Homo-oligomer: A and B are copies of this chain.
């Protein structure tokens, strides 16, 4: 058996995945509405074909052969990793009896519908039986998958390979101890920025140009991608040479599209930057969802909402929106960095965002381990919201029902959002070591300097390493939440008229 045959087979699978990704992109951007029903059958069929090929007897033979110690030892690093990734996928999918997985996907599909209606009516009770069924499957699946210490490990692994529940909990416990009082101090003692300069309408055509131009400035390759509008912004790699982003324009809030374009652009740079040598290979994907999120957050927040960036870009903005000629840059900078505890995760700012994740992690981990039941969720949610953020939902729609993830059976995903923020802060500290004049480079508009660093250290390798190893390789240390604390202390304390409090001490 030749490794070439294995790669040819992977390429076939990747072809179906590529087609499925294009069908999905089209469904969300271009497809006429009357095609929805039939097209989702096509999308499902393509995904199922790829899925079946990943567990076929042919793949079983590859897995068996290339994992023989004598054979495996002869493989190159990249070949070995590709075999490892496919083996993991094969074992994971094969672990669940097909008919049980089928029932689970039906339950999720029903669950999403029920969730939508329940959210509209703000009634958790309507959704509860559906969620109970989904959680039931997940509790069963973790037994099939297997785990070392914690049932939740088996779910987390799908999105953050090799990370354990204990590790996430350690990070969260530390972060919570610093972040909750930091937020309280900011709000109690600081002076909130005046956001009024952001008021006013900006027409869509102007916003489209702003989004397009910032992608170009970020060195996003428009010959290997495109920008479209959708209800919910997203990034999708259709295949080599084609990573597409979308954004959404609100005429009464131009910053929304601008920063979500930078966010998606950050995701897209990651996908565009993976090694061409890995074309069609399993390794040509993200190291983890958390690493992916670190790239989007870096561009959206660490760069996009930073002072050096606006030194470069404020004149461009003033050119596009002349009313900002009257507004000092500092005022604009503070306005786009307002901290406000809110009920909804997707509207959260840099400081409060992780608090939304902590409570979700704690709830789903307890749920999967049977420490809490589905019926307990609304009460638990509201208690934790008050404790971490100091605000409490008045209804389920803005509380426990706000996210679609659980309805779609996605348990274990939420931590990736938080890990993305933490990785980003730790990575940027490493960037500053490698590029001491980073701020000057950014202020001079040389965004490509950062992008090249990211490409070399993070983008090129794709999934060659698990995130744990990647973080170690790139920063020389394991994940440490204190980089994030230091970053927000140094940034937000001054914005709120306070001296930095020394949060995140010991990060270096």
Q: Judge if A396 is at the interface, Cβ distance under 8 Å.
A: no
A240 CB to nearest B CB, Å: 5
Q: How many copies does the complex hold?
A: 2
Q: Judge if A39 is at the interface, Cβ distance under 8 Å.
A: yes
| B242–A45 touching, CB < 8 Å | no
The CA-CA distance from A99 to B110 in the complex, in Å, is 47
Residues of B within 8 A of A46 (CB): 15, 19
Residues of B within 8 A of A238 (CB): 35, 39
Which one of A25-33, A67-75, A172-180, A500-508 is at the B interface?
A25-33
| A242–B34 touching, CB < 8 Å | yes
The CA-CA distance from A18 to B45 in the complex, in Å, is 11
Which one of A216-224, A322-330, A399-407, A476-484 is at the B interface?
A216-224
| A38–B18 touching, CB < 8 Å | yes
Q: Do most interface residues of chain A lie in helix, strand or loop, or is the interface mixed?
A: helix
Which of B12, B35, B279 sits near A45, CB closer than 8 Å? B12
Q: Judge if A239 is at the interface, Cβ distance under 8 Å.
A: yes
Q: Judge if A98 is at the interface, Cβ distance under 8 Å.
A: no
Q: Judge if A64 is at the interface, Cβ distance under 8 Å.
A: no
**Contact (A279, B23) CB under 8 Å given A30-B30, A32-B225, A32-B242:** no
The CA-CA distance from A41 to B18 in the complex, in Å, is 10
Residues of B within 8 A of A30 (CB): 30, 226
The CA-CA distance from A34 to B37 in the complex, in Å, is 31
A122 CB to nearest B CB, Å: 31
**Contact (A34, B224) CB under 8 Å given A26-B22, A42-B19:** yes
Q: Judge if A241 is at the interface, Cβ distance under 8 Å.
A: yes
Q: Of residues 206 to 240 in A, which have CB atoms within 8 Å of B's CB atoms? A: 221-226, 238-240
Q: Judge if A391 is at the interface, Cβ distance under 8 Å.
A: no
Q: Judge if A197 is at the interface, Cβ distance under 8 Å.
A: no
**Contact (A224, B19) CB under 8 Å given A37-B241, A38-B240, A240-B38:** no
| B38–A241 touching, CB < 8 Å | yes
| B222–A32 touching, CB < 8 Å | yes
| B35–A240 touching, CB < 8 Å | yes
The CA-CA distance from A42 to B241 in the complex, in Å, is 13
| B33–A223 touching, CB < 8 Å | yes
| B239–A42 touching, CB < 8 Å | yes
Residues of B within 8 A of A456 (CB): none
Residues of B within 8 A of A23 (CB): 19, 22
> Could you name 16 residue pairs across A and B whose Cβ atoms are closer than 8 Å?
A15-B46, A18-B42, A19-B19, A19-B46, A22-B22, A22-B26, A32-B222, A32-B226, A32-B241, A32-B242, A34-B221, A34-B224, A35-B238, A35-B239, A35-B240, A39-B238
